[in-house]
Amino acid sequence: MSELPVALVTGAATGIGAACARRLAADGFRVGVHYRSSAEKAQKLLSELPEAFGLQADLTQEDEIDALIKQVKAEAGRVDVLVNNAGYNVNAPMLTMSLDQYDSVASVARGTWYLSKMVLRRFMFRAGVGRIVNISSVVGHTGNPGQVPYTMVKAGLDAFTKSLSQELVGKDILVNSVAPGFIDTDMTEVLPDDIKETIVARVPQGRMGTADEVADVVAFLSTRATYVNGTVIHVNGGMYGG
């Protein structure tokens, strides 16, 4: 079993998650690449990161999280950094959205809570050290029409960060959030050009961010930030309202 530190990145097959996986691997971590359904993209990423290992699980299901924890234990024996990046969104006005659609978004937050609990219990408490980085969003602070459940979940992640960091008083386990603005990923690629122009007009830097720019901040919190705890770092180019 490798002695490299281990980073578990959820939703790591694409976008910000993949950028975080690549950056942490470059920083000397063995990366657990979690994915739910993007198996082909996950395998491509794994082929780029020779020390990495794949972890397939639906994070809305308790038994699948338990199985993931067992797999990490067998494969690596440790988790030094947990990046809670996995998320899901449904775009619809609140008055037309179904309860099932709401649950499909909100249930991922439940999985983040449970996965974090198990990583703390099985790995970080025993090691006496660890880093948890939650990927929230600027819309958790500004709101966004058509994304009520998503904005609720992202705002809740930042509250989760602040509350959990206070529960870990006296331990060298730091919990922080990174709140991206509008980042150039598959999720934003599908937006109409007029919507993109409206978004960019709200950003003083005049452009969307990149997944690598978010990953740089995640890497800082994972490897070099020793006195940053319970906070939210915005990576949004100064977007108004953020």
Token output for 28: 């000397």
Q: Which of 35, 88, 102, 150 is catalytic?
A: 150
Instruction: Check residue 94 and report its DSSP letter.
Output: G
- Cα 44 to Cα 48: distance, rounded to the nearest angstrom: 7
Token output for 70: 């067992």
Helix, coil or strand: residue 83: strand
Helix, coil or strand: residue 46: helix
Where do the DSSP E strands lie in the chain?
A: 6-9, 30-35, 53-56, 81-84, 129-135, 172-180, 232-235
Amino acid, res. 24: L
Q: Are the C-beta atoms of 16 and 211 separated by less than 8 Å? A: yes
- Cα 212 to Cα 217: distance, rounded to the nearest angstrom: 9
Q: Are strands 81-84 and 6-9 parallel, antiparallel or unpaired?
A: parallel
- Cα 11 to Cα 13: distance, rounded to the nearest angstrom: 6
- Cα 29 to Cα 37: distance, rounded to the nearest angstrom: 24
- Cα 47 to Cα 192: distance, rounded to the nearest angstrom: 33
150 catalytic residue (yes or no) = yes
Strand partners for 135: 178
Which residues participate in catalysis according to the annotation? 150
